[in-house]
Structure 1
Amino acid sequence: MAEDLQVSGGDKAAQYTSLIPQIKGLLDGEPDLVANLANVAAALKEQFGWFWVGFYLVKGEELVLGPFQGPIACTRIRKNKGVCGTSWAQASTLIVPDVEAFPGHIACSSLSRSEIVVPLVRNGEVKAVLDVDSEHLAHFDTTDQAYLEEIVALIVI
């Protein structure tokens, strides 16, 4: 059954390799964007136990909070503001080892220490961003980037 996530151990790459086919199964045949974003956020949170995992959707001149897992979050983020708004403006993944050192970081929670933001780009336009926060410094790397970009590419928007 697609709703039964099999959480695996091992190194980071092995965990992603195990998780991606399961995410494909969750998304397969489901046309609803909110349902798909919610399940992807939940699958990532369940597998990795990160502090916060969620999506912000581009709506006009702002990113608006979408499905997420974790504590209450900022609702709206302007373009070029914080890590999410900067990733949106640059249409590129940002890895931030220490959010306190990022100019203009928006602190939705003081517990967040590092972050990765992956834009969901379709037809040359950013439609949403995947935002992942950790309570640990320097938690994310290029392995996370590669696999999270692969996961985001699976989402139909």
Structure 2
Amino acid sequence: MAALSLATTAFKDDGWLAHNVLSKYNVLEYFSRSPFYVPPQRVGEEYVILEEQEPHLYVVQKQRTDPRTGRTAYLAVYYVLDQTVFQAAALGDVLGARAERLLCNLRDAFGACRELYEPSEVERSSSPASARVPPAPEKAEHQRATDRLLANFFNNR
């Protein structure tokens, strides 16, 4: 059975918070009231506080320690930020989103370079090289900026 992703869920228990001050001593009790908490189902499963920056941030990790080998497997990470519990994104999801954004930005950058460095077919066929109109000042500045960026990139490799 696939694990239910609660990546878009947030939990805050105002009733509990009205009678308690959240601290490193009771954050796991508070976390256990959230939909993220699943009681340990195997030997060695537990929730631990991985990081704390009182009173605003607590990082809770679900882990399982193999009793035979002592090796710990990290199952999930959650955080309590200003009394609200969230599930941390999986590393693969974060890297995938960043790679997607990088590819989109590269496509845009190459498109801009193409506009600056590849004259249109109309310009190539209709006007001799000596009769071409110089680029507009704004386009010329973009071209110089692109030249500098490309030069820095290739010189720093």
TM-score by length of 1: 0.24
Which structure carries more strand by proportion? 1
Query: Higher Cα Rg: structure 1 or 2?
Result: 2
